[in-house]
Amino acid sequence: MSEVDNLFVNSMHEWHASVLGQKVVKALNKNDFDAQYIESEEQLLAKLSAMIKPGDSVAFGGSQTIKQLGIPEMVSGIPATILDHNAPGLDAVQKLEVMRRQQVCDVFICSANAITAEGHIYNVDGNGNRVSALIFGPKKVVVIAGTNKICHDEASAWDRIKSVAAPVNMKRLNRDTPCTVTGHCMDCSSIDRGCKAYLILKNRPGLTDFSVFIINKTLGF
Ligand code: SF4
C-alpha cells in the first residue's frame, strides 16, 4: 500500500473511531453519566485539572490508560494528595490502609475494560477496590477510556474482557493462570485468578458525581 493509501486508511479509522466515540458519549449521557468526547490528550488534561482542587485527595484504579496519559504526573503538579498504595516503602499494613482511604477520596480516576454503544461501563477486578470505588465512596469518579474500549453490545464487551483485557493484564502481572498461555479466559480456579469481581454500570450510581471522557486514541488494553 502506498503512503497516500496508508494515510487515507488511517484517517478513515480515526473518523470511524470519532463517530463511534460521539455515539457512545450520547448513550452515556442518556444513562445519566456526565460524558464528553475528547480529541486530544491536551484537551483531556486541561479538563481534568479543572476538576481537581489543590489539596484534594486523588486515587487511581490500576490502569495503563491513566499511566499512558501521564495523569499521575499532572495531578502531582496541582498539587493534590495522591493516595498511591504502590508507593515505595509501604509495608502490607500501610498499603491496605492507603487502599481503604482511596475508597473515600475526593477524586477517583480509572479506566474501563469495555464501554458499550448502549453506554454501559464494564470492569473486572481482583481485590474489588477499583469496582467498589466506582459504585460509591469517592466524592467524584472519573472514567477515561480510549475508543479501543468501545464495544457494540454486552456480548462483545464480555468477549473483549475475556479475550483481551483480562488475559493481557494477567500476562503483564506474571500470573500463573491458563489465559496467559491460551490468550483467552478459561474461567480458571487458579489461586492467581485476577477476575473475582465483575461490574456493569448501566446508569450513574445515584450518589456519585460521575464523569466519563472518551478520547480518540488507542489506550490500555
Ligand atoms: S478467570 Fe482466570 S483464566 Fe479467565 S481471564 Fe481471569 S485469570 Fe484468566
Helix (H, G, I), strand (E, B) or coil at 167: helix
Nearest to 28 by CA among 151, 123, 130, 117: 117
Phi, psi of 82 (to 5 degrees): -90, 125
Best residue among 160, 179, 221 to mutate for probing ligand 1's pocket (most ligand atoms within 8 Å of CB) is 179
* CB of 166 closer than 6 angstroms to any ligand 1 atom: yes
Q: Whose CA is nearest to atom 2 of ligand 1?
A: 188
39-51 pLDDT, tens digit per residue, is 999 999 999 999 9
Q: What domains appear along the chain, each with residue ranges and CATH number?
A: 3-215 (3.40.50.10420)
Largest CA distance in the chain: 58
31 CB within 6 A, ligand 1: no
pTM of the full structure = 0.93
Q: Look at residue 99 in the predicted model and tell me its pLDDT.
A: 96
Please tell me the predicted confidence (pLDDT) of residue 13. Answer: 73
Question: Which DSSP string do the residues of 93-149 spell out, in sequence order?
Answer: HHHHHHHHHHTT-SEEEE--SEEETTS-EEEEESSSHHHHHHHSSSSEEEEEEEGGG
The per-residue pLDDT for 151 is 96
Mark the ranges of the chain whose per-residue pLDDT is less than 50.
none
The pLDDT value recorded for residue 18 is 86
C-alpha cell of residue 102: 482511596
For ligand 1, atom 5: residue with the closest CA: 185
Q: How high is the pLDDT of residue 4?
A: 61
pLDDT of residue 62: 84
